[in-house]
Amino acid sequence: MALLEVRELDVHYGGIHALRNVSFSVDEGKIVTLIGANGAGKTTTLRAISGLVKP
Q: Give pLDDT tens digits for 34-47.
A: 999 999 999 999 99
Domain containing residue 32: 2-50
Query: Looking at residue 1, what is its pLDDT?
Result: 86
Q: Would 27 be classed as within a structural domain? A: yes
Q: Would 41 be classed as within a structural domain? A: yes
- Average pLDDT (16-33) is 96
Q: Would 55 be classed as within a structural domain? A: no
Domain count, the chain: 1
User: What pTM does this model have?
Assistant: 0.88
Neighbours of 40 (CB within 10 A): 13
Give the DSSP H or E segment for 8.
Answer: strand 2-13
Q: Would 45 be classed as within a structural domain? A: yes
